[in-house]
Amino acid sequence: MTAQKNALVNDERQTNELSQSARDLATQIFNLRRSLFDSQISTRTASPLSSAFWSTLIRPTDDDLGRLNRLLVDVRQVLNNAMAPDNRVQFISVVLGALFIWVVVRRLLERLLIWAMIRWLPEGRLRRSALALAVGLSTILTITIATSLLRWGIVHNAVLSNDVVNLLDQVQTLITFCAFIVGLGRALLMLAHASWRLPQIPDQIATALGRFPPALALALMVIGTQERINSVIASSLALTVAVNGLTALAVSLVFFYALLRYRRTRRRFELERPAGFAGLIPFIVAVWVGLSLLALLSGYLTLAYFLAVKLLWVSVVASTAYLLIACFGDICETLLSPKQPGGLALGSALGLSTRHQAQASTVLAGIGRTLLLLTAVLLAFLPSGSSPGDLLASFTQLDVTSKSMGNLNIVPSDILVALVCLVVGLLSVRVLKEWFGERLLPETNMDAGMQASLVTLIGYIGFVLVVAVVMSTLNISLTNLTWVVSALSVGIGFGLQAIVQNFISGLILLTERPVKVGDWVSLAGVEGDIRRINVRATEIQMGDRSTVIVPNSQFITQNVRNVTMGNALGVVGITLTLPLETDVLQIRELLLQAFTEHEAILDAPAPSVTFKDLTNTGLIISASGYVNSPRSVGGARSDLLFTVLGRLRELGVALSAPQSMVLINEGAGKDAAAEESVTP
């Protein structure tokens, strides 16, 4: 038993060593691919404007012709075997079956899926997204089955060489990818059912772009087959680069054709440019195509090939991600949201409250969309010379141990990657803030001020993470920034102390929340509503709609009056000075009735009337009542004053007038009377 145990331990150790060696070898192959591509991308060769480029394609070398002839002989033998008398009927039946699957079965499957979606799915966005996904999947599924059947008919009862097997596998993969492009275009454009179109594309634009996916797939199929043949026969570098240049030319021209039709259609029908990021897509594609054509005409064929294939790949990945993200969000909205019948049934079955169910639906949709978007970004910017499998293998080989980033060693490629990470990171932070502020937090019981503070804090954290990722991309560690930290320390000691103080105060305001967005505050003669808490200062909107910028440190170091903190009630007070002969009981009933009848005055605490003072000027009576917010005090007090004064006038009760003193000069009056008596 001990000997068997030791043997098993040794076998396990050898297996682990072989596995580690295989992973190391895969990593070395991956690095060699990248190095080879990086070395070739800056190489300049013959331009398509020169005869040397076309002569390489028309008159290849003798070695290339010999390899190609050997492959053609193998392919001819396979076809002759398939068309042999014993296999002819079977092969023709397989070809007809493949055509039947592609033409007839595809249409029947689409109609079946459309009927099922209309029959079982509720009306709304889920039905449209599911229909788009069904159309795309039916196209891909049928052509994949058809090509697999055709491949089986070719290789059945035939002895194939390794080159032919390799070529058939690569061509089948290429056909599947071209079918994926066609299916994706049909799913997004929906020419036969415009009302089911998922993206908001006008009918004129969709019709104009209807030929683009098949044209792109056809061009890619023709040129891609030649690439696969070159790969199988291991053609010369010159022929490979020339075919890559031809591929770049075909893909760029097809995209240029699509852009030209889009521009002409939009001008012809006077269509408006789409708002937001959708309006930038044609501009980005135009710049990308222009760079590819410029590199192609300049002789940088490998660079042009990289740009063209990357444009094609990013377009396919982005379109697929849009379709999957929309479908996943619609599924969560339909099955989990309490606003839909399916969500209501699920919530009642699980005993979930409406608020918690809405939060779960929003969070699940957000997590799923984020994962799909992250996967799409990783696939779209897949390193050159690698495959998705290489990317997956690189994740399994991540070293989670803490290692130094090394010295400050920045190369131009790192700067470009860092810029891309910065732009993508900032856009991601912005999208995350919008999702929290517009989707998730409104489903909670948080007040508007807390929601705004949390969104701002998430923005700060996201910005810090983006900066950390950019620094990591540039291979910058904290030890490399010692001199920067020292300089900042000196600057803080002299000129940046107030800025840092305001920044720390802003963080305290966001976490401790003595004041929040929407509060009515009074500070150093400034009174108004807080509209925004920024990194350095807070914006307060005054009563006249003007905005005062107050440094955050003043909210920490000075006395601040928060009128609306803790949902405080407002107090409406009226003080009247009445003559001494006024019936105070009648006035008391009048005031209580006026306060009780006003809709803004709360029943609890109840309004009260107080005999405040008795002076030689009259009776001073005060009445008070509570409203639900201090913001309602001014309007309620104005309404009550109008009501009370009107009723006092109806009762004939006047307010006590202030006493005035009038001096009469009696001597002047006597002199005037004497003069009147003496006058004849």
SS (H, E, C) 80-92: HHHCCCCCHHHHH
- Do 101 and 92 touch, CB atoms closer than 8 A? no
Over residues 72-83, the mean pLDDT reads: 84
d(CA 580, CA 591): 18
In sequence order, what are the beta bridge partners of 574?
623
What pLDDT does 252 receive?
93
CB atoms within 10 A of CB 655: 12
- Tens of pLDDT along 395-404? 444 443 334 4
For the chain, the first-to-last Cα distance in angstroms comes to 160
pLDDT tens-digit readout, 148-178: 898 888 887 777 788 888 888 888 888 989 9
Residue 478: the pLDDT is 59
CATH architecture of 513-562: Roll (2.30)
Residue 66 has pLDDT above 90, yes or no: no
Most confident of 17-26, 310-319, 521-530, 561-570: 310-319
Buried b (16+ CB within 10 A) or exposed e, 57-75: eeebeeebeebbeebeebb
Overall average pLDDT of the 293-320 stretch: 90
pLDDT above 90: residue 505: no
Q: Residue 408 has what pLDDT?
A: 47
Q: What is the mean pLDDT of residues 86-115?
A: 88
Q: What is the spatial distance between Cα 252 and Cα 264, in angstroms, rounded to a whole number?
A: 18
Question: What pLDDT does residue 394 have?
Answer: 46
Task: Give the pLDDT score at 282.
Answer: 92
CATH class of residue range 569-651: alpha beta
Question: What is the spatial distance between Cα 275 and Cα 471, in angstroms, rounded to a whole number?
Answer: 33
pLDDT at 294: 93
Question: pLDDT above 70 covers what percent of the chain?
Answer: 83
Check whether 125 has a pLDDT greater than 60. Answer: yes
pLDDT band at 237 (very low <50, low <70, confident <90, very high): confident
Radius of gyration of the chain (CA): 40
Query: Where residue 213 falls among pLDDT bands split at 50, 70, 90?
Result: very high
Residue 290 scores a pLDDT above 90: yes
57 falls in which pLDDT band (50, 70, 90)? confident
Which tens digits make up the pLDDT trace of 466-497? 888 887 777 776 565 666 666 666 665 655 66
Name the residue with higher pLDDT: 93 or 460: 93
Q: Which residue has the tokens 């044209």?
A: 215
Q: Identify the weakest region by mean pLDDT among 194-208, 216-230, 379-393, 397-411.
A: 397-411
- Which of the listed CATH numbers 3.60.110.10, 1.10.3720.10, 3.40.50.300, 1.10.287.1260 matches domain 410-506? 1.10.287.1260
Q: Give CA–CA dist 394/201, Å, rounded.
A: 38
